Amino acid sequence: MNIAIFASGNGTNAINIIDYFKSSVKLLLCNKADAPVLNKTDIDKIIVTRENFYQNDEILDILLEKEIDFIILAGFLWLFPINILKKYQNRVINIHPSLLPKYGGKGMYGMNVHNAVKKAQETETGITIHIIDEEYDKGEILFQTKCQIVENDTPQDIANKVHDLEMKHFPSIIEEYINNVTLQEIPRIKIRPHR
């Protein structure tokens, strides 16, 4: 199976996945030209813009030409366009730094989530690995796991605990999901003929 990763920032999750899957990761796509993740790997890279992501099929065409089977989001915050979701139904996997449906939705990412968890005086939080659909953080949940929060934990302490869960579980859950999807259930996408 060929994998593409969409990332935005430092890329710790992205690099963790690349290291885990080795040569199966064929493409890194990023919506920030100065993102540190771009300097951390030698795999092919594409810069995602509002135009080539939302206004035309350029990104979709690249995914098809690379024969990408699964897309992994590792800190990529843009809502996915319907043209890609239709081609990659049930094959776009995301990780969210809370126990969805709590602390999900637009604007709920990174420290925004951890600050909200702390403010609400939660005693636990965690990660959710899920399939992407047309709405933020609403797709089918594949996996959740928890960590405890103690009273004196800061939002950064919470972030560190959640990050440890991400690094431990994300690659193996991706692998389990891919291995459970047979080629009969999800046939390899055919490359679109050039117009």
Encoding tokens for residue 38?
């771009």
- Cβ-Cβ contacts under 8 Å for 157 (sequence gap 6 or more): none
Provide the phi-psi class of 11: left if phi over 0, else alpha when psi is between -120 and 50, else beta.
left
Which residues span the domain enclosing 23? 3-180
Query: Quick check: is 139 in a domain?
Result: yes
The domain that holds 176 is classified in CATH as 3.40.50.170
Helix (H, G, I), strand (E, B) or coil at 105: coil
Query: Quick check: is 85 in a domain?
Result: yes
Residues classed as catalytic: 96
Query: Quick check: is 169 in a domain?
Result: yes
The number of folded domains in the chain is: 1
Cβ atoms of 7 and 28 within 8 Å: the answer is yes
Determine the residue type at 130: H
Give pLDDT tens digits for 103-124.
998 889 999 999 999 999 999 9
Give pLDDT tens digits for 43-89.
999 999 999 999 999 999 999 999 999 999 998 989 999 999 999 99
Query: Quick check: is 185 in a domain?
Result: no
Query: Quick check: is 189 in a domain?
Result: no
Give pLDDT tens digits for 145-184.
999 999 999 999 999 999 999 999 999 999 999 998 754 4
Helix (H, G, I), strand (E, B) or coil at 178: helix
Query: Quick check: is 191 in a domain?
Result: no
Query: Quick check: is 173 in a domain?
Result: yes
Query: Quick check: is 192 in a domain?
Result: no
